[in-house]
Amino acid sequence: MAIEVKVPVLGESVAEATIGEWLKKPGEAVAADEPIASLETDKVAVEVPSPVAGFMGDYLVQVGDTVEVGAAIATINDQGGASSGAASAPAAFAPAPAAAPAPATAPAAGNGDVAGDQSLSPSVRRAVLEHGIDPASVKGTGKDGRLTKEDVVAAAQAKKDTPGASTSAPAVAAAPASSGGGERLEERVKMTRLRQTIAKRLKSAQETAALLTTFNDVDMSAVIAAREAYKDVFAKKHNIKLGFMSFFAKAACLALKDVPAVNARMEGDEIIYHKYVDLSVAVSAPNGLVVPVVRNVESMSFAEIEQAIAGFGKKAKEGALTMADMSGGTFTISNGGVFGSLMSTPIINPPQSAVLGLHRIDERPVAVNGQVVIRPMMYMALSYDHRIIDGREAVTALKIMKDAIEDPMRLLIDL
């Protein structure tokens, strides 16, 4: 008997989602509660579990389709044997006879498909096409062994480092050769729901808020020395590395306590001041930048902050962040330094009023006590909504953070 698989409740105020990828092919065995599909909502990817054990049946919708909560998206045959869906599915996804493995299905020339690409997320598929990597030759490190974008990039780098290896990408949509020789390739990919939402929110922030950014630089010597001195005992005691983010989170809490407007939001003609710090930490996920929330950071230890951030980073990589993980947030820290950024003007995450941008650490000559010395320096940027925060308040908040990082003892004595 065929059982319908329906879109589950996605979270408060979320009524629809987009089919991101199918995790099971028609005819494959499915366990009860095993994920069969991934949905992309405005904020996160949500996996749809099978309601029963059986075999994957028909796809009732396709990748990229928009579906509402409660809509049927597929069927599961809960009886023994292959489902009826296997017979009607495309040949590339039909189950192979037990006596022999199924032959690989080659992509049609010029259509941009990758063999088996139905099991790849859009970002992974783009990476496969861009780097010319055979996905079957790469071992996935994602959830349930699925291929991630990082796996493809690593395989491409290894291929490039191999003498004589070809790095040409498969044809996507070859245009006629130009007079200069060679093909000019293009690929058209529909924006994911997450990317569309990011675009709308960022543009809305620019159009609504009175955005301004103030900068400062910070000498990282003291924090680097503290990490070097205590990293081993810290890791041994707490089973987590001591990173920079916990120092900046603590420094931000000091600043937000002294300058509450930086930790506020506007609602109509009122300003709501938060007496707590729910810190949105921007992390990179396969489908884009996401900002899970570490709650009540003002009352957390260094180890608790590091563990929370590491946990969110792992969930983001696996595509396992939930709507609850993403909701709320009173202040954001975004670390572009991990990607090599020297300086930027981050955009606030509405309805928050400010965001702290961190950047790479460079050794630079600075004047200290009348002498030119080389110090590890970082530029910090605080973007803020000038409707709520005055320039004096923004500069003061950033200066408090700078002073706390340059003299970490301030973090211990709340100064």
Q: In the chain, pLDDT over 90 holds for what percent of residues?
A: 40
- The pLDDT score that the predictor gives to residue 308 is 95
309 and 394 co-located in one domain: yes
Kindly report which listed range (67-81, 150-164, 169-183) carries the lowest average pLDDT score. Answer: 169-183
Residue 179 belongs to some domain of the structure: no
Q: Is the pLDDT of residue 235 over 90?
A: yes
137 and 249 co-located in one domain: no
142 and 225 co-located in one domain: no
Residue 176 belongs to some domain of the structure: no
Residue 358 belongs to some domain of the structure: yes
398 and 266 co-located in one domain: yes
CA distance 204 to 197: 10
Interacting residues of 343 by C-beta distance below 8 A, sequence separation 6+: 215, 359, 379, 381
Residue 64 belongs to some domain of the structure: yes
Helices (H) and strands (E) in the chain, counts: 10, 18
When the pLDDT of each residue in the chain is averaged and rounded to a whole number, the result is 81
Residue 202 belongs to some domain of the structure: yes
- Verify whether residue 269 is a known catalytic residue: no
204 and 155 co-located in one domain: no
- The pLDDT score that the predictor gives to residue 159 is 77
**Options 144, 390, 407, 414, the catalytic residue:** 390
CA distance 389 to 386: 5
Angle at 35 between CA 31 and CA 39, to 5 degrees: 160
pTM value? 0.64
Q: Is the pLDDT of residue 415 over 50?
A: yes
Question: pLDDT tens digits for 248-299?
Answer: 999 999 999 999 999 999 999 999 999 999 999 988 776 667 889 999 999 9
User: Angle formed by the axes of helices 122-131 and 149-161, to 10°?
Assistant: 10
Q: Is the pLDDT of residue 97 over 60?
A: no
Question: pLDDT tens digits for 78-92?
Answer: 765 444 444 344 333
**Mean pLDDT across 163-181:** 49
239 and 377 co-located in one domain: yes
Residue 6 belongs to some domain of the structure: yes
358 and 277 co-located in one domain: yes
Residue 234 belongs to some domain of the structure: yes
Confidence of residue 169 (pLDDT cuts 50, 70, 90): very low
State the CATH number of the domain containing residue 125. Answer: 2.40.50.100
- The pLDDT score that the predictor gives to residue 7 is 87
Residue 146 belongs to some domain of the structure: yes
Question: pLDDT tens digits for 40-57?
Answer: 776 677 788 888 888 888
**Options 33, 232, 258, 386, the catalytic residue:** 386
112 and 248 co-located in one domain: no
Q: Is the pLDDT of residue 111 over 60?
A: no
The more confident residue out of 274 and 121 is 274
210 and 353 co-located in one domain: yes
CB count, 10 Å around CB of 146? 19
- The pLDDT score that the predictor gives to residue 100 is 42
Q: Is the pLDDT of residue 379 over 80?
A: yes
User: Is residue 121 a contact partner of residue 35, using CB atoms and an 8 Å limit?
Assistant: no
Count of domains for the chain: 2
- Verify whether residue 386 is a known catalytic residue: yes
- The pLDDT score that the predictor gives to residue 285 is 73
Confidence of residue 117 (pLDDT cuts 50, 70, 90): very low
CB count, 10 Å around CB of 50? 23
Q: 3-state DSSP helix/strand/coil percent for the chain, to nearest 5?
A: 35, 25, 40
Residue 96 belongs to domain spanning: 2-161
**Mean pLDDT across 379-400:** 96
State the CATH number of the domain containing residue 250. Answer: 3.30.559.10
Q: Is the pLDDT of residue 115 over 70?
A: no
Q: Is the pLDDT of residue 101 over 50?
A: no
Q: In the chain, pLDDT over 70 holds for what percent of residues?
A: 80
Q: Is the pLDDT of residue 394 over 90?
A: yes
